[in-house]
C-alpha cells in the first residue's frame, strides 16, 4: 500500500463513537486555498443527505475541508438529514474560519438512522488538532465499513524535472455497482490544472475504472468520487489546447484503476477475482450490457464460488442480455485460454477437465466474442459466497 503525501493536503482520522467503540470513524481533510476540486456522485434517486449538500456546496465554492463519517449513511432521513449534515458543516466552518460552502460532508454506513450530530460535532476539535501531512493510511482505514483492508494507491511522475504526486483512497466492498464512482473515493494531486481539465479528467478516469466494477449490482445512496488538485507542483501539465501531459494522465489512470480493482479484490465474501471481457460489440454500451449481465448473474457468480465450469449459465446470461438480432452461432466464450462455446454450443474440443483447471484459479477471465462490431469493454467482478450472505444478513446487528 503506497502512501505518498500530496503537498497541500492534510488529514486526520479519529474515533468518535458514531456506531462502534475503538474504531476510526471520522476523517477530516484540509485542502490548500489553491485547490480545485471536481466531483461525481451517485445516480441513486434516494441519494443521501450529505450527497445533496456536497453537490450544492461544490457548485458554490472551492472546498477547503472534507468531513467523512462512517457508521451512519444519513440516507433516507428526509429534511432532518439535510439539517444534520449542514449542522456538522457549520460547526466545522466556524472552527476553521471558512465559509459554510467550503465544507463538503460525506457519510457511509447504515441507511435510515438519524445522524449522531452531537458525537460528530463534539469530535471536530480533536480532528482539527490532529490534522497533519502523511496520514493518508489512517484516513483510508477511517473510511472503512465492511472492508477488510484499507485501499490506498500513490504514484509520482516527473514532468520536465518537476515531480507530481497523486494519492487516492477508496472504500467499498458491498453495495457496489457505482454507476458513477464508488461508495467513497478521494484522489489528491499537487498538479496545477484548470477546472475544465480537472472535470474532464475525473469523468474520463471514473468511466473506465469505478464504472467498470460490480460486486452485487446495487448502487449505493452515498456514492461519491472527488479529484482535488492543489496546484502546488511546478510541473507544466496543460497545453494551450487543454491537453494534459500523457505521463500524468497515465499515472492518474493507474491510481483510479488500482483503487477500483482493490474494491473487487476486497468484495464482501469474495474468493475469486473475475474479469469479464466482451469483444466484437456494435457499441461500447452493447458490450457493457452483456458484460454486466454476466458479471451480476447470481447463477454465474455462485458457479464461480463453487469453481464449477457450468458454462451454460454464462451462455444463458449472454442470451438474456437483451441484444437485438444476436447471432448465437457467431458467439464464442472462453474461460482463460480455454474456448468453451463456439457455433452456438459447446466447443468440440472443450473438455470438463480443461474448464475445471480454469475455474480452480483464484483469478479468472471470462472472454466473450459477439462478432458483430469493433467495440470492446472490460468489467471486474467477484464470486458470490456464503460469507456475502452472512455479512449482509448481519449488517445491522
Catalytic positions are 182
Rounded Cα distance, 253 and 342, in Å = 35
- Tell me which H or E stretch contains 88: helix 78-96
Tell me which residue of 89, 76, 84 sits closest to 115, measured CA to CA: 84
The half-sphere exposure of 168 on its side-chain side, counting CA atoms within 13 A, is 30
Q: Quick one: how far is CA 194 from the chain centroid?
A: 24
Contact 89, 103 (CB under 8 A): yes
373 DSSP assignment: -
Q: Which three cell numbers stand for residue 252?
A: 492518474
User: Coil, strand or helix: which one is 131?
Assistant: coil
Contact 270, 385 (CB under 8 A): yes
Please report, for residues 22, 101, 197, 227, 243, the alpha-carbon distance to residue 240 in angstroms, rounded to integers and kept in the order given: 51, 31, 11, 22, 7
User: Coil, strand or helix: which one is 24?
Assistant: coil
Contact 147, 391 (CB under 8 A): no
Rounded Cα distance, 360 and 130, in Å = 47
Tell me which residue of 68, 252, 86, 87 sits closest to 159, measured CA to CA: 252
Rounded Cα distance, 19 and 35, in Å = 32
Q: What is the largest CA-CA distance in the chain?
A: 72
Sign of the four-CA dihedral 263, 43, 72, 25: positive
Q: Which three cell numbers stand for residue 227?
A: 479529484
Rounded Cα distance, 287 and 293, in Å = 10
Contact 215, 267 (CB under 8 A): yes
Amino acid at each position: 500500500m503506497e502512501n505518498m503525501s500530496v503537498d497541500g493536503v492534510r488529514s486526520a482520522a479519529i474515533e468518535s463513537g458514531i456506531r462502534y467503540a475503538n474504531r476510526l470513524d471520522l476523517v477530516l481533510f484540509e485542502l490548500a486555498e489553491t485547490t480545485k476540486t471536481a466531483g461525481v456522485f451517485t445516480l441513486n434517486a434516494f441519494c443521501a443527505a450529505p450527497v445533496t449538500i456536497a453537490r450544492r456546496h461544490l457548485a458554490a465554492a472551492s472546498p477547503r475541508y472534507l468531513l467523512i463519517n462512517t457508521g451512519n449513511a444519513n440516507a433516507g432521513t428526509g429534511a432532518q438529514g439535510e439539517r444534520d449534515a449542514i449542522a456538522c458543516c457549520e460547526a466545522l466552518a466556524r472552527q476553521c474560519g471558512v465559509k459554510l460552502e467550503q465544507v463538503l460532508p460525506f457519510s457511509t454506513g447504515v441507511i435510515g438512522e438519524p445522524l449522531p450530530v452531537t458525537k460528530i460535532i463534539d469530535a471536530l476539535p480533536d480532528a482539527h488538532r490532529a490534522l497533519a501531512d502523511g496520514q493518508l493510511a489512517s484516513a483510508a482505514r477511517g473510511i472503512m465499513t465492511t472492508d477488510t483492508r484499507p485501499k490506498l494507491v500513490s504514484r509520482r511522475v516527473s514532468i520536465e524535472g518537476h515531480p507530481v504526486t497523486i494519492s487516492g483512497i477508496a472504500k467499498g466492498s458491498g453495495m457496489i455497482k457505482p454507476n458513477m464512482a464508488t461508495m467513497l473515493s478521494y484522489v489528491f494531486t499537487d498538479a496545477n490544472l484548470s477546472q475544465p481539465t480537472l472535470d474532464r479528467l475525473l469523468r474520463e478516469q471514473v468511466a473506465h475504472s469505478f464504472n467498470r466494477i460490480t460486486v452485487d449490482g446495487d448502487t449505493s445512496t452515498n456514492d461519491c468520487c472527488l479529484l482535488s488538485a492543489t496546484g502546488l507542483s511546478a510541473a507544466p501539465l496543460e497545453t494551450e489546447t487543454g491537453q494534459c501531459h500523457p505521463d500524468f494522465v497515465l499515472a492518474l489512470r493507474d491510481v483510479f484503476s488500482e483503487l477500483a480493482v482493490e474494491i473487487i479484490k476486497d468484495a464482501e465474501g469474495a474468493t475469486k477475482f473475475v474479469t469479464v471481457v466482451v469483444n466484437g460489440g456494435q457499441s461500447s454500451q452493447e458490450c457493457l450490457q452483456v458484460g454486466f449481465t454476466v458479471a451480476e448473474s447470481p447463477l454465474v457468480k455462485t458457479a464461480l464460488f463453487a469453481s464449477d465450469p457450468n458454462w451454460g449459465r454464462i451462455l444463458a446470461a449472454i442470451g438474456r442480455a437483451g441484444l437485438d438480432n444476436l447471432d448465437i452461432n457467431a458467439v464464442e466464450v472462453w474461460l482463460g485460454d480455454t474456448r468453451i462455446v463456439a457455433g452456438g454450443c459447446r466447443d468440440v474440443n472443450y473438455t470438463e477437465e480443461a474448464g475445471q483447471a480454469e475455474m480452480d484459479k483464484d483469478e479468472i477471465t471470462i472472454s466473450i466474442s459477439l462478432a458483430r462490431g469493433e467495440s470492446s469493454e472490460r468489467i471486474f467482478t467477484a464470486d458470490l459466497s456464503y460469507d456475502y450472505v452472512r455479512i449482509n444478513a448481519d449488517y445491522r446487528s
